[in-house]
């Protein structure tokens, strides 16, 4: 059985289990509406998938790098965290956008893409530019690379380093 299929089966089980729990709460909408309430933004997904057991504070207290977040989320799945594959993608987006420190002058292209939410072209442009001259600060990065999401970068500026 392929791992993709295995994931789908797991998420169907999780959806059914979640739906049953939901139905057990008096006055809640029917199953159809439960499915419609699948989280569709990174913020909503992280609250839905991650805040149930220990609240968001524990997630917000411990910034960590890209690989470490992968390991942490896998650990939480082993502990019982449940969501659809799409929701887990959004959770990873949230963690990379908000809770992953990055050194723009040294991170590899894959990490730049994930954490700065830029395309391959954007990441390559950063690598090309820093090869001749390091970036000095966020303003310089935003000023010299096209297509960056400035609102998102400004919101996580305490996680963006230029070493």
Among 7, 12, 20, 52, binds ligand HEC (CB under 6 A): 52
Q: Is 81 in the site for ligand HEC (CB under 6 A)?
A: yes
Q: Is 44 in the site for ligand HEC (CB under 6 A)?
A: no
Among 39, 50, 123, 160, binds ligand HEC (CB under 6 A): 50
The angle at the Cα of 111, spanning 43 to 93, to the nearest 5 degrees, equals 15
Of 144-163, binders to ligand HEC (CB under 6 A) are none
Closest distance of CB 99 from ligand HEC, Å: 8
- Distance, in Å, from the CA atom of 104 to the CA atom of 74, rounded to the nearest integer, reads 26
- Residue with token string 């609250």: 47
* Torsion 84-86-92-95 (CA) sign: negative
- Residue with token string 């303003």: 139
Q: Which residue, 81, 78, 149, 80, is CA-closest to 113?
A: 149
User: Three-class SS of residue 161?
Assistant: strand
Are 126 and 112 within 8 A, CB to CB? yes
Closest distance of CB 77 from ligand HEC, Å: 7
Among 12, 17, 21, 58, binds ligand HEC (CB under 6 A): 58
Q: Is 76 in the site for ligand HEC (CB under 6 A)?
A: yes
Q: Is 141 in the site for ligand HEC (CB under 6 A)?
A: no
Among 2, 3, 79, 147, binds ligand HEC (CB under 6 A): 79
Give the DSSP letter of residue 117: T
The site for ligand HEC (CB under 6 A) is made up of 49-50, 52-54, 58-59, 62, 72-73, 75-76, 79-81, 91
């Amino acid at each position: 059985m392929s791992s993709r299929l295995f994931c789908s089966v797991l998420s169907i089980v999780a959806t059914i289990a979640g739906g049953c729990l939901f139905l057990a709460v008096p006055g809640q909408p029917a199953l159809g509406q439960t499915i419609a309430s699948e989280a569709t933004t990174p913020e909503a997904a992280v609250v839905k998938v991650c805040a149930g057991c220990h609240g968001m504070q524990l997630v917000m207290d411990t910034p960590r790098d890209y690989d470490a977040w992968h390991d942490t989320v896998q650990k939480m799945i082993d502990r019982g965290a449940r969501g659809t594959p799409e929701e887990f993608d959004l959770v990873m987006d949230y963690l990379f956008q908000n809770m992953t420190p990055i050194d723009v002058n040294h991170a590899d292209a894959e990490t730049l893409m994930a954490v700065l939410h830029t395309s391959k072209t954007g990441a390559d442009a950063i690598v090309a530019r820093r090869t001749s001259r390091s970036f000095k600060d966020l303003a310089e990065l935003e000023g010299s690379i096209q297509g960056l999401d400035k609102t998102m970068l400004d919101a996580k500026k305490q996680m963006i380093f230029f070493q």
